[in-house]
Amino acid sequence: MNTNQNEGLLTQLTLPSPPRRSFLGALLVVGGGAVSALLTVPLVRFALHPIFVKTTETSWSDIGALSDLDPSAGPVRKAIQVEQRDGWRKTTSEQSVYVTRDASGQLRVLSSVCPHLGCTVPWLEEKKEFICPCHGGIFSSDGTYRGGPAPRGMDWLETKVDAGHLYVRYQYFRQLVPTREVMG
């Protein structure tokens, strides 16, 4: 065999080597994919956290000593601190409630939020009624519906007495529905 034939046979038997640029390109793609996967994990956890986290239990708020509350003359307005968890935020807000007596004489705590559109309902001592300033909903001293556009009476809140103090569990209720439905 001559040398020209040997060179031709040698070029046919050897496979062409990949250029360096394609190796570096492949390395760049694999490295970029690995970094992207590592960065995606915390982002997905951050986005899905509110779905899987348990909400905080609604806490009891102290209204005051039973000896200081005398709703016999009419509802007594009290401000309470309400702690809420909304996604990642934990906030404390002040809400007003009314301590009153129901038809049987038992203490009852009413939310001051109108069940119509959520306005704050004040007690008008001179009229002996709750009257919503937004749309004229009228409620008796125990929160019973008397008139106006509201679909139901004022919402009452769960209470308990412990060591001579009245406690309330504040909740939000769905508006514009005839039944009392807790929202959160």
In a domain, 179, yes or no: no
Strand partners of residue 10:
none
Per-residue pLDDT tens, the chain, 184 aa: give them.
555 555 555 555 565 666 667 888 888 889 999 998 888 888 888 777 766 665 556 678 888 888 888 777 789 899 988 877 666 677 788 889 999 887 787 889 999 999 998 899 999 989 999 999 988 899 998 889 999 899 999 999 999 989 888 899 888 888 888 988 887 5
**Whole-prediction pTM value?**
0.66
Between CA 71 and CA 132 the distance in angstroms is: 20
Q: Are residues 8 and 70 in the same domain?
A: no
Instruction: Give the domain extent around 27.
Output: 3-52
Q: Are residues 43 and 68 in the same domain?
A: no
Q: Are residues 81 and 43 in the same domain?
A: no
pLDDT of residue 90: 78
Question: Are residues 170 and 58 in contact, defined by beta-carbon separation less than 8 angstroms?
Answer: yes
SS percent in the chain: helix, strand, coil, step 5: 25, 35, 40
In this structure, the strands spanning 165-169 and 60-65 are antiparallel
Between CA 11 and CA 3 the distance in angstroms is: 12
Nearest alpha carbon to residue 166 among 111, 99, 113 = 99
In the chain, the number of structural domains is 2
pLDDT of residue 145: 92
